[in-house]
Chain A
Amino acid sequence: MADAMAPAAPVTTSQTGPSELQHHFDTPEQQREASSLGMWVFLVTEILFFGGLFTAYVVYRHQYPAAFAEASRHLDVTLGTFNTAVLIVSSLTMALAVYFATVGRRKAVMLFLVATMFLGAVFLGVKAIEYSHKFHDHLVPGPAFQFPGPHARPAEIFYSLYFTMTGLHAAHMVVGLGILTVLVLQARKGRYGPHYSTPVEMSGLYWHFVDVVWIFLFPLLYLIGRHV
């Protein structure tokens, strides 16, 4: 491998600064593809991480369809739809941050990263409001859980899944905000440009993945049983 790529080495160094191209890669392109592949392998483990919870949801919804529909109606569909839109806008701003990183517009990268962080914070704020409503309405699983009608136990299972799935999703959002903070600081120093934008691209993959999880959580948690 190394000897075959040896003639390309001088070209590489001129395209990418020595600080960016690690010594165990032959070309920047190879390094970038390795990063992308590694990030996707991580995201596949994340798919299966959330997949376990989605499987639990499917099993219990299959077992208690009426109770799940009734419990779902106690969620705030307006706030849920609003948050879905907020995350979609944040995915657009993240995609634009990646775009401006690859074309080397430093100010625009910072602007869109900060915009993405702001939208992420709005999402978490709305989530906090929703959680506090659930505490107030005794819909948090545990000794204080109260649910009118015959479906109290399976409704508690629904709310256990609701808090676990949205809680794990929110934890990913918090991690994403931390990653974006680092990116903004690095972008400020002018680290990203046409020669090197891999960290922005990989963080973008993570952010979009978290959006995809919510794309499934929203209909499965908020929208079942609205038509009854």
Chain B
Amino acid sequence: MSGHVVPRKVYYAVFAALLVLTAVTTAVAFVDLGPWNTVVALGIAFLKATLVALFFMHVKYSTRLTQIIVAGGIFWLAILIVLTLSDFVSRGWLPVLQ
């Protein structure tokens, strides 16, 4: 069986939101916000990815087990990036012992 059939108007709404967010992220990139440029760019990218996952990829309508797998994947990605950065960012914080 096909599980939950998502109404087409949901897809059109998500599609419109994705196009608008793409325009916004491109426009904002040309405005100098200092370090906030990266924050805004990544925030919009996460928002777009969440919309695609929840609605186009049906995570919102999936079983709890599938949702846990998805969340687990993102959590492991966070471990990969955060632990790697904790090394690179903290280098030089402590004096080197001879």
Using known A-B contacts A32-B3, A47-B74, determine if residue A55 contacts B80 with beta carbons closer than 8 Å: yes
A77 to B18 Cα, complex, angstroms: 18
Nearest chain A CB to B28 CB, angstrom units: 9
B1-44 interface (Cβ within 8 A of A): 1-3, 5-6, 8, 11-12, 15, 18-19, 22, 25-26, 29-33, 37-38, 41-42, 44
| Set of chain B residues within 8 Å of A52, measured between Cβ atoms | 80
Q: Which residues of A contact B3 (CB under 8 A)?
A: 29, 32, 36
Q: With a CB–CB cut-off of 8 A, which chain A residues contact B49?
A: 212, 215-216
CB nearest neighbor in A for B67: A40
CA A106 – CA B57 in complex, angstroms?
21
Residues 191-219 (chain A) with a chain B CB within 8 angstroms: 194-195, 197, 201, 204-205, 208-209, 211-212, 215-216, 218-219
Which of A41, A59, A89, A216 meets B85, CB within 8 Å? Answer: A59
- How many residues of A sit at the interface, in one of the four size bands? 35 or more
Query: Can you list, as one digit per residue, whether each of B76-98 has a CB less than 8 Å from chain A (1) or not (0)?
Result: 11001100110011000000000
Q: CA–CA, A216 to B89, complex, Å?
A: 22
Which residues from B are CB-within-8-Å of A44?
A: 69-70, 72-73, 76
User: Roughly how many angstroms separate A204 CA and B11 CA in the complex, as a whole number?
Assistant: 13
Are B30 and A194 in contact, with the CB atoms below 8 A?
no
Interface residues of chain B: helix, strand, loop or mixed (majority): helix
8 Å CB contact of A102 from B5, B73, B81: B5
Which one of A16, A54, A101, A219 has the highest number of Cβ atoms from chain B below 10 Å of its Cβ? A219
B81's partner among A32, A51, A201 (CB-CB below 8 A) is: A51
17 contacts between A and B (CB under 8 A): A16-B1, A47-B76, A48-B76, A48-B80, A58-B85, A62-B89, A63-B88, A84-B22, A88-B15, A91-B52, A99-B8, A102-B2, A208-B53, A209-B57, A212-B53, A220-B41, A226-B29
Contact B45 A59 (CB under 8 A): no
A95 and B56 contact, CB distance less than 8 A? yes
Write the residues of chain A forming the contact surface with B, with a CB cutoff of 8 angstroms: 15-16, 28-29, 32-33, 36-37, 40-41, 43-44, 47-48, 51-52, 54-55, 58-59, 62-63, 77, 81, 84-85, 88-89, 91-92, 94-96, 99, 101-103, 194-195, 197, 201, 204-205, 208-209, 211-212, 215-216, 218-220, 223-224, 226-228
